[in-house]
Amino acid sequence: MFRTPALVINFKTYLQATGKKGLELAKIAEKVAKDLGVEIIVAVQLADLRLIAENVEIPVYAQHIDPIKPGAHTGHVLPEAVKEAGASGTLLNHSEHRLRLDVLNEAIVRAKEVGLETLVCADTPATSAAVAALQPSAVAIEPPELIGTGIPVSKAKPEVVTNTVAKIRRIDEHIPILTGAGITAGDDVARALELGTQGVLVASAIVKAKDWEAKIRELAKPLVKKL
């Protein structure tokens, strides 16, 4: 069950969010989530997943899983291992880790089998609709050219978001849709909700912020009004 509205924080492989610093960031996210009563999810590096999942009560996601079954798959990410380490879900198909269509579909199927939510990223309205046809837990629309720029898609290309919502809604009336790429301020989040999406996917704006708590609080606040 993917609860909305949601703020998903992608730790990527930033050094500021690696290892014990990653745990620290996750704990601040947990604090804000409890204070405001909103859904905040952290998507963390695999090497840090267990450490973080054992120490916070908010949902912890992997950043990727492979659609493999237990066995001889050296160096790949077993869904069961991710689940046992404490994850409640996983990102899939992020612009920095795109997947083959068949692999993406199998990864969603495997995630359901082991009880992991799937938040699947897509780059255009067309691919977002394609993703929705695969019935993941949620879809995130992220025009890759805006990722990490600080130029929010919700302002720079609102039509990408509204076209995505329109296309997905013809295929699935209820699946949660998140807005990603360039989300930097509380305003961007409010705008994302107005455009018909149910939350945001954010990375550098939070991870690189000088005051993690203040930034998370700023981005989470617009979700409160929406509850």
142 is catalytic: yes
b/e for 8-22, b at 16 or more Cβ within 10 A?
bbbbbebebbbeebb
Return d(Cα 47, Cα 7) in angstroms, integer.
22
Site for a second copy in 23-52 (CB under 8 A): 43, 45-51
CB atoms under 10 Å from CB of 88, counted, come to 18
Site for a second copy in 121-150 (CB under 8 A): 122-124, 126-127, 129-135, 147-148
**142, 145, 159, 174: which one is catalytic?**
142
Which positions from 166 to 195 touch a second copy by CB under 8 A, shown as an x/- string? -x--xx------------------------
Phi, psi (rounded to 5 degrees) for 179 = -105, 130
Active-site residue, from 94, 173, 194, 218: 94
- Tell me if 104 contacts a second copy by CB under 8 A: yes
Kindly tell me which residue out of 6, 33, 82, 141 binds a second copy, with binding defined by CB under 8 A. 82
Binding footprint of a second copy, residue count (CB under 8 A): 67
33/120 with CB nearer a second copy: 120
Q: How far apart are CA 200 and CA 137, in angstroms?
A: 15
Upper half-sphere CA count for residue 202 (Cβ side, 13 Å): 32
Nearer to a second copy, 14 or 185 (CB): 14
Give min distance, CB of 84 to a second copy, in A: 4
122-125 — which CB contacts under 8 Å span 24+ positions? 122/93, 122/164, 123/95, 124/160, 124/164, 125/160, 125/163, 125/164, 125/166, 125/167
- For residue 5, whether the previous peptide bond is cis, meaning omega lies within 30 degrees of 0, is yes
Instruction: Report, in Å, the least distance between residue 47 CB and a second copy.
Output: 4
Residue given tokens 């629309």 in the structure block? 141
Binding site for a second copy (CB under 8 A): 10, 12-15, 18-20, 43, 45-51, 62-64, 68, 70-78, 80-82, 84-85, 91, 93-105, 122-124, 126-127, 129-135, 147-148, 167, 170-171, 203-204
Catalytic residue numbers read 94, 142
